[in-house]
Amino acid sequence: MMSVCFLVEFLTFRRPFPATLLTAFGGDRVMKTYDLVIIGSGTAAQVASSRVRAAGWSVALVDHRPFGGTCVLRGSDAKKILISGAEAIDAETRMRGHGVTGEARIDWRDLMMFKRSFTDAVPRNRERDFAENGIDAFHGVARFTGRDAVVVEGQEFKARYILIAAGARPIPLDIPGQEHAVTNDVFLELDRLPARIVLVGGGYIAAEFSHLAARAGVHVTVLQRAEQMLPAFDPDLVGWLMEKFGELGIDVRTRATVQRIDKTVGGFIVHASIDGQEQEVAADLVVHAAGREPDLAALDLAAGGVATENGRVKLNEFLQSVSNPKVYAAGDAASSGAGIEPRWQGRCAKPSRRQPAPAGLPGRSERRIHNSANCRGWSQRGGGAREGDQIPNALGEGPPTGTQPNDSTKRSTASRLWSRRTPIVSWALTSSGPMPKRSSTYSASRSVTGSRRKI
């Protein structure tokens, strides 16, 4: 992610203190105090918690869902396992008559059991890892009660810093019968596929699920409000994809506004308006694929003095709340940084010119570190990717975000730069190299702007 290297600028060069129990005078209510409280248990939360804990900080992690996060349990990792079955069918179909005979088919129940062999153990393994690393993990919904405090199932936590990495949730459809539409979580746990599926929405979730279901023999209809599926993606590529959808028998209806979902004795009827014409589509299952939003509603950000922008935490260049410097955000909750959006897969074709160092990294005339999460990379904020930089594909997949040196010389250069200027957690989130050593020139009172203040 683009600015993750500055995620916890305050969190490194200050003296850590252990978790303590503070008993309020005049009562028996106990408040737990930590250096860092993290809301969420996905990739950003896991990396931040483990590396900050390794630096000696006391860490608490909270999640109201099973530990592991969206990507591993109910997102890209789970999806990839299921997609592998569809890929096998596609390969067999294309090779038929060229030395391959017979006809393969998807056994959905067996494929789902195979997926669960990977995902079912994740929550307990994560909880075990947290315990072994001295990270206190809690189940429950977190809610801000102050600028540096949250409450979880009646237990209060006070923190020097709070990291919001809560992930995303499906957006409300705001139509009658929206409760009848299942989310991607449910789809990825189905024990069997019905004969007819309607997907509401036409983004990457709809594209993947419709292809997977069609390969399994399901009749799929996609109802997309926009002029085409995947409107943010390259139109030529989408056009080729639509040709393949036609070959698979996927019924894609664009300019379709879904008005309501009715439950019937035999399934569901989805009512939509297409170019002013009312249409009804019968389904055995309706899947919500109309988009997702940051999962922030339950946090009561106003109580924590945390400002938002377009539904996300409003941040400065260090992924720090502009209204409450004790709060940071990463991933879906952040108003800046890389997300899942269309990008070319492969490598950048042209090198970029050297770029000036960004604010907060004094003493450098140019940047040598690139961000692999975006081919345009730092160019959006004053930098650029170089020839050979690894680029994720349109589904947000690719090499880990951060420094990806091609040889020992580049690795050495990166180490010298970031070890002098970057806090430990930032380094941990963006680099595969060793943690930086504390610099004697940056004392415990260093702030994100390089000025000094009392703690």
List the pLDDT tens digit at each of the 455 positions of the chain: 444 444 444 444 344 444 444 444 334 457 899 999 999 999 999 988 988 898 889 999 999 999 999 999 999 999 999 999 999 999 998 999 899 988 899 999 999 999 999 999 999 999 999 999 999 999 999 999 999 999 999 999 999 999 999 999 999 999 999 999 999 999 999 999 999 999 999 999 999 999 999 999 999 999 999 999 999 999 999 999 999 999 999 999 999 999 999 999 999 999 999 999 999 999 999 999 999 999 999 999 999 999 999 999 998 877 889 999 899 998 899 877 544 443 333 333 333 333 333 333 333 333 333 333 333 332 333 333 333 333 232 223 333 333 333 444 334 433 433 444 444 545 545 555 555 554 322 223 232 323 222 22
- Neighbouring CB atoms inside 10 A of 362's CB total 9
Instruction: Kindly give the pairing relationship between strand 327-329 and strand 155-164.
Output: parallel
Distance from the Cα of residue 224 to its chain's centroid: 23
Strands (E), 291-405: 292-294, 308-309, 312-313, 327-329, 346-347, 390-391
Q: Which of 379, 376, 374, 378 lies closest to 399, judged by CA?
A: 374
Give the list of residues 6+ apart from residue 291 with CB closer than 8 angstroms, or none: 170, 171, 201, 203
Residues of the chain with CATH 3.50.50.60: 1-171+292-338, 178-290
Question: Phi, psi (5° rounding) for residue 245?
Answer: -60, -40
Which amino acid, residue 455? I
Whether 385 and 368 have beta carbons less than 8 Å apart is answered as: no
Interatomic CA distance for residues 180 and 349, integer angstroms: 46
Interatomic CA distance for residues 312 and 62, integer angstroms: 19
Interatomic CA distance for residues 182 and 173, integer angstroms: 11
Cα distances from 383 to residues 38, 377, 415, in angstroms, run 30, 7, 19
Whether 37 and 162 have beta carbons less than 8 Å apart is answered as: yes
Looking at CATH, the fold of the domain delimited by 178-290 is given as FAD/NAD(P)-binding domain (3.50.50)
Give the list of residues 6+ apart from residue 284 with CB closer than 8 angstroms, or none: 194, 195, 196, 197, 266, 267, 268
Interatomic CA distance for residues 328 and 307, integer angstroms: 11
Looking at CATH, the fold of the domain delimited by 1-171+292-338 is given as FAD/NAD(P)-binding domain (3.50.50)
Q: What is the DSSP letter of 367?
A: B
Give the list of residues 6+ apart from residue 248 with CB closer than 8 angstroms, or none: 211, 214, 215
- Neighbouring CB atoms inside 10 A of 415's CB total 17
